[in-house]
Amino acid sequence: MTKFEFAHTADGIARQAGALLRKFYEKGVSTEYKGDVDIVTEADRASEQLIREKLKAAFPTHGVYGEEGTRDQMESEYRWYVDPLDGTTNFAHGFPAFCVVLGLEHRPPGLAPDADGEIVAGVVYDPLRNEMFSAERGKGAFLNGRAIHVSKTKTLQESLTATGFPSRKRHASPNIHFYQEFTLRSHGVRRAGSAALDLAYVACGRLDGFWEFNLNPWDTSAGVLLVAEAGGTVTHFDGGKFTLDSREVLATNGLILPEMKHLFVELFAGRGLDPIPTPAEFAARRAESQNQE
């Protein structure tokens, strides 16, 4: 089997995991907390167990790195990054935005332990919409077998973008400032709660850009390949090279990348951060605007 055939097998495994998630979703699931606000459900664990077993049966020499704790054969030449349920909070609340994620990294012999290999295949499966996003290195990106491409939106002002927020220590996250500024400068910002779906949506043109802090390899491995194979860009906020251990990700259609990079530079430098008006100031501005009409 060549590295360009892995996505087909991953597709079948993700569909099986998605069918399992649908059953849990329809009946409701019990949840527990991993931290103050991070939750994990029985569905996460059941899905990861299924995926691990299927991957090991199909690829016995491959490593598996799962969000819920699987760490098998991490020294292998090929390593799967698995998020068995991306969007757990949505899932637990009955909000219909979650997916299964499998991304495959090729790590050739001799590669330093702390160096990135090459993501060669990935799938993101939305079981409620039966949408399978898949990509293979050098072969393009697809949605249910149909080739997909990033959007042709040319300016940030015309763009629909997305972001996400951490489930813990939100008060310490600077992203609320970026959220405000991008909301003011774009057609809109969405926050759906699944980074993998956001990346898939950039790949197929439903979103023009996406940014987020502190994601993990199982969140991004498949999505960054989808965006790249669909003709987009995935970088750091300053345009630097993205790696699997990056703590920031900026995915775009390529056309709005310069504007987004510039705004990030300005915001990190403390420029362009207009204070949020108080309710009284907002009311006064609104009244003044109405009086002028």
Q: Which residues are annotated as a binding site for Mg(2+)?
A: 67, 83, 85-86, 219
Q: Of the candidates 258, 263, 7, which has an alpha carbon nearest to the alpha carbon of residue 119?
A: 7
Q: Is 249 strand, coil or helix? A: strand
Please tell me the distance from the alpha carbon of residue 247 to that of residue 212, in angstroms, as a whole number.
8
H-only helix segments in 107-207: 175-185, 195-204
Q: Which amino acids are annotated as binding site, given as ranges?
A: 67, 83, 85-86, 219
Please tell me the distance from the alpha carbon of residue 191 to that of residue 87, in angstroms, as a whole number.
11
Structure tokens at 180: 């405000």
For 271, other C-beta atoms within 10 Å of its C-beta total 9
Please tell me the distance from the alpha carbon of residue 232 to that of residue 123, in angstroms, as a whole number.
17
Q: Count Cβ neighbours within 10 Å for each residue of 14-36 and write b for 16 or more, e otherwise.
A: bbebbebbeebbeeebebeeeee
What does each C-alpha distance from 58 to 11, 54, 55 come to in angstroms?
12, 6, 5
The single residue listed with the structure tokens 């926050």 is 191
Structure tokens at 235: 């970088």
